[in-house]
Amino acid sequence: MGTTGTVLITGTTSGVGLNATRALVNQGWTVITANRSPQRAAAAADALDLPKQRLTHVLMDLGDLDSVRNAVAELPASLDALLCNAAVYKPKLKQPERSPQGYEISMATNHLGHFLLIQLLMDRIKVSSHPSRRVVILGTVTANSKELGGKIPIPAPADLGDLSGFEAGFQDPISMASGKGFKPGKAYKDSKLCNMITTQELHRRLHTETGISFTSLYPGCVADTPLFRNTPKAFQTIFPWFQKNITGGYVSQALAGERVAQVVADPDFAESGVHWSWGNRQTKDGLQFSQELSEKATDPETAQRVWDLSLRLVGL
């Protein structure tokens, strides 16, 4: 086990973030949770009997850039690790839902809110004296076309196209990074692709200078978290069954939380620039490996444009 410290985790009311919080406080870490309802975050932690003295709950709506800024103003001057976990997935939307700044909600929450948070917290992570400072971002298989799960054409694979939607300001009527027509399931995949691009670009730009480790991961298919609450009811029954019995890709929320905690805290996961995976069909004791990412996630020119355009969209 590595040295303990203080980690900020986004999205801890349920699922992977809640279970990663549990694993980390049980290892002795102090966790600052960032949620749009700190009350619900506290209730979820209480339901698992997590020690209150190791937890602070702050209000942060990742979909609202002003809320991210306000929350950061209240955070401590030094942080040892940041875990970008919160996400929304809204595949049934007929029309794009908009953030307070006018951006499509899954890109706003999953990518832009976290992008701003990372930029605003970088100096506080830099000054930490922790021996292994880390920024960890949840990626996903469905946004990595190097893997089978990333090739699924329903509704379309992740693809930022020529980034003309970002370039044009990403406001109504634009809802996709590519500037093409709205596809809500693809909007989620595109936002997760941006998460993985961001990790790679953070590594390229800042790892040598700061010594901070930047990694992303796919913890496995945690098919029964509330992430899928906006899918059809039949899907919510069939999908976990399918992942458990057919693909073997299913992992429990508890195991996913332990995997995420390892990437945050375990010395074996200190290397920067890695996208960690345990594979779709690994057994419970299967070991982690460095999963190759698609060119869409690793191409430095795309990443530089995503970085510059994201800076502009978050107002930096």
Which spans of this chain sit near ligand NAP (rule: CB under 6 A)? 10-17, 35-37, 40, 60-63, 85-88, 109, 138, 140, 192, 218, 221-223, 225-227
| Residue whose CB is less far from ligand NAP, 48 or 127 | 48
**Residue 263 CB contacts under 8 Å (≥ 6 apart), including other chains:** 134, 136, 215, 217, 269, 276
| Residue whose CB is less far from ligand NAP, 130 or 135 | 135
| Residue whose CB is less far from ligand NAP, 16 or 31 | 16
| Residue whose CB is less far from ligand NAP, 130 or 192 | 192
- List strand residue ranges (DSSP E) for the chain, in order: 6-10, 30-35, 55-59, 81-84, 134-138, 213-218, 275-277, 289-290
Contact between 12 and 18 under an 8 Å Cβ cutoff? The reply is yes
Minimal distance, residue 131 CB to ligand NAP, in Å: 27
Minimal distance, residue 38 CB to ligand NAP, in Å: 10
207 burial via Cβ count (<10 Å: 0-12, 13-18, 19+)? middle
| Residue whose CB is less far from ligand NAP, 92 or 131 | 92
Taking the C-alpha atoms of residue 27 and residue 14, their distance in angstroms, rounded to an integer, is 19
Contact between 98 and 170 under an 8 Å Cβ cutoff? The reply is no
Q: Report the residue number whose CB is nearest to ligand NAP.
A: 15
DSSP 281: T
